[in-house]
Structure 1
Amino acid sequence: MDQLNLTWLRRWAVASLVANMAIVWTGALVRLTKSGLGCATWPQCQPGSYVPRPEDGLHGLIEFGNRTLTFVLAAIALGMFITAYRAWKAGAVTERMPVLAFGVGLGIIAQAVIGGVSVLMQLNPWVVGLHMVVSMALILMCVVLVRDAYGLRPVPVPNRLVTLTTVVFWLGMVVVALGVVVTGAGPHAGDGAAQRNGLSAEWTAKIHAWAVWAIVALTLLGLWWAWAQPRARRLWLGLLAVILLQGVIGYVQYFTHLPMGMVFAHMVGTTLFAAALGHLYFRTVPDAPAWYRPARDVHLHAS
């Protein structure tokens, strides 16, 4: 594969990751500005019109703008798939890359449908929460695309650290899911008339915080076990930095009664957390036993 095509493969992979993170940020903006029903129906914006009307005001423009970004994501997904498919046919990448790129494209279509259903159901918090869960899955898939596009080598570690990595990854998914539940119980519903999930915002926030403290403790343990291995140590340090940043933002937003700016920052942090978690999980592999290790390093990819 020539350098020009490799460069484009990497650009599309990074664009896919950034775009699927950014759609979470714009979705948060829709919710925080109470613009979730700025377009009252779907797939049209208003009955008889696919675009907002002047009387829809700023809320209509914000919601319509967020919907329009779906087409940007779809175009990026198409570019990623075509480039990955050509790279696979040229023997430069494994079949996994075009399959993942195709999966991201399908996920974006699914997201458009879920978003439409959420509008038709007047921003049901569980449907809106599913929107977020699918976004996290897409971000994780894009992390793998970036890893493969840059040829990042696996990081071999002892089995106990592999096990801990798996536990931290799935606990991280639980933390995200609990965050979705907290959001569904909180005040930022996306529209003043939208229903909430009926759970206690205070208690769901506390349970969410306990899960975060658990992942902080396990991440510190992982960093301790990985300290002697520079590549593994960098992965754990990156995750710890994001978790601590998210924790600070989370506590500040809680004790300042959820101001819009802090909630938005927390949503940005959630996407960074998912990316850092995926980067750790998808690069960590079991270390080969001493008798199985090759006499020399034959890897040609970048570290």
Structure 2
Amino acid sequence: MPVRRLFLRLVDLLPLPSLRVQRAIAVAVILTQGGISVTGAIVRVTASGLGCPTWPQCFPGSFTPIPHAEVPGIHQAVEFGNRLITFLVVLTAAAAVLAVTRARRRREVLVYAWLMPASTVAQAVIGGITVLTGLLWWTVAIHLLVSMAMVWLSVLLFVKIGEPDGGAPVRAVPKPLRQLTALSALTLSAVLVTGTLVTGAGPHAGDKSIEQPVPRLQVEITTLVHLHSSLLIAYLSLLVALGFALWAVRAPRPVLIRLGVLIGIAAAQGMVGAVQFVTGVPAALVAVHVAGAAACTAATAALWASMRQRTETEALERDLDGEGEVALTVRTRGGVELPPTQ
């Protein structure tokens, strides 16, 4: 296509990025995607959600804050600052696309890279809808959940960038354990969803207007907290069970390390949530809890990605098994022989 050829010609004018540069950009993508979810939480707990009451402009006729009798300056500054951070998200996403395109990475990497700017645009639109609808609790929930999905995808982008383009995909662990990891990820999704429900019924609506109070989720918050915490316990239980199973099959050390980090983050997240509940949901802990949610999502994505690896093939050996059938093994860089992915 002419447009694609023109784009590639323009990208080729850029210097060729090394693998280290590509991975550094991917790290920046992870940090900005996770970071904006935290700044969004700060907007909410400071009641600055309508500091800029319109979108994409801050006020009608102005993209920047202006003196307004009904909107405190601090609320305008917090919300406008959060919108400015979106530009960092866009820049890192664009840098990822340009870097992997210039390096002529494989199609899989390109797809993950392009998902970053595409999802950022979608997230901006969702944010605009959230503002224009007056911070309805379910729009805020969707806004956060999409951020978590973007954190997941950005971690996978980082992992895919670090893999060789000409390598062969191999299983690092037996298929049932990969399925157990998928189940834990689904449980985490349920934890995140119920967490947004707790937020929707909680005290931090994002705005404290008396004339037009923000509609809240009309469900007893204690019930939602019990559901949320029960799912977190189930999530932690699955991770511990997965740990015993991985140890039993002598899973690769990187997989065990990632699981250990994830269990630590999830346990800390549970403690923050408990303290948050018994202390009346202080604003600072809300932001910390959202940061923990992003960290749990990133760590779970990293664990999932480690279950199947793409490694350079040093040797392909055809060996006869005990029954005289041909078995194909792949010798990875680490010298560990693993069966190729079926």
Same fold (TM over 0.5): yes
For 1:63 and 1:222, how far apart are their aligned partners in 2?
Answer: 41
The CA deviation at 1:297 is: 2.9
* TM-score in terms of structure 1 length: 0.91
Is the partner of 2:197 in helix, strand or coil?
helix
* Range 39-48 or range 144-153, more displaced: 144-153
The CA deviation at 1:65 is: 0.8
Identical-residue share of aligned pairs (%): 33
Is the partner of 1:111 in helix, strand or coil?
helix
Change (3 A) 1:96 1:299: farther
Is the partner of 2:51 in helix, strand or coil?
coil
Change (3 A) 1:296 1:117: closer
Please tell me the root mean square deviation across aligned C-alpha atoms, in Å.
2.1
Match of 1:6 among 10, 19, 39: 19
Letter in 1 for 2:88: V
In the alignment, structure 1 residue 81 sits paired with structure 2 residue 97: yes
The CA deviation at 1:181 is: 1.1
For 2:280 and 2:328, how far apart are their aligned partners in 1?
Answer: 55
The CA deviation at 1:154 is: 6.3
Residue aligning to 1:189: 205
In the alignment, structure 1 residue 257 sits paired with structure 2 residue 292: no
Q: Are the aligned partners of 1:81 and 1:102 in contact in 2 as well (CA < 8 Å)?
A: yes
Aligned residues: 292
For 2:109 and 2:175, how far apart are their aligned partners in 1?
Answer: 27
Residue aligning to 2:226: 206
The CA deviation at 1:3 is: 8.8
Letter in 1 for 2:299: A
Q: Deviations over 1:114-133 (max 9, x none)?
A: 11111110001111111111
Is the partner of 1:163 in helix, strand or coil?
helix
Residue aligning to 2:329: 294
Q: Are the aligned partners of 2:17 and 2:102 in contact in 1 as well (CA < 8 Å)?
A: no
Q: Which has the higher helix share?
A: 1
Is the partner of 2:103 in helix, strand or coil?
helix
Letter in 2 for 1:206: H
Residue aligning to 2:5: none
Residue aligning to 1:138: 150
* Range 141-150 or range 25-34, more displaced: 141-150
Match of 2:125 among 113, 124, 145: 113
The CA deviation at 1:138 is: 0.7
Q: Are the aligned partners of 1:84 and 1:101 in contact in 2 as well (CA < 8 Å)?
A: yes
Q: Are the aligned partners of 1:139 and 1:274 in contact in 2 as well (CA < 8 Å)?
A: yes
In the alignment, structure 1 residue 149 sits paired with structure 2 residue 149: no
Query: Structure 1: which 5+ runs fail to align?
Result: none
Change (3 A) 1:208 1:154: farther
Residue aligning to 2:190: 174
Residue aligning to 1:19: 32
The CA deviation at 1:169 is: 0.9
* Range 277-286 or range 52-61, more displaced: 277-286
Letter in 1 for 2:42: L
Q: Are the aligned partners of 2:17 and 2:103 in contact in 1 as well (CA < 8 Å)?
A: no
Is the partner of 1:191 in helix, strand or coil?
coil
Letter in 2 for 1:171: T
In the alignment, structure 1 residue 129 sits paired with structure 2 residue 141: yes
Is the partner of 2:18 in helix, strand or coil?
helix
For 1:72 and 1:180, how far apart are their aligned partners in 2?
Answer: 25
Match of 2:266 among 243, 259, 269: 243
Residue aligning to 1:222: 242
* TM-score in terms of structure 2 length: 0.81
Q: Are the aligned partners of 2:38 and 2:287 in contact in 1 as well (CA < 8 Å)?
A: yes
Q: Are the aligned partners of 1:155 and 1:231 in contact in 2 as well (CA < 8 Å)?
A: no
The CA deviation at 1:78 is: 0.8
The CA deviation at 1:232 is: 2.5
Is the partner of 1:179 in helix, strand or coil?
helix
Letter in 2 for 1:272: A
The CA deviation at 1:4 is: 4.9
Q: Are the aligned partners of 2:97 and 2:113 in contact in 1 as well (CA < 8 Å)?
A: yes
Q: Which has the higher strand share?
A: 2
Is the partner of 1:54 in helix, strand or coil?
coil
Q: Deviations over 1:92-130 (max 9, x none)?
A: x32111211111101111111111111110001111111
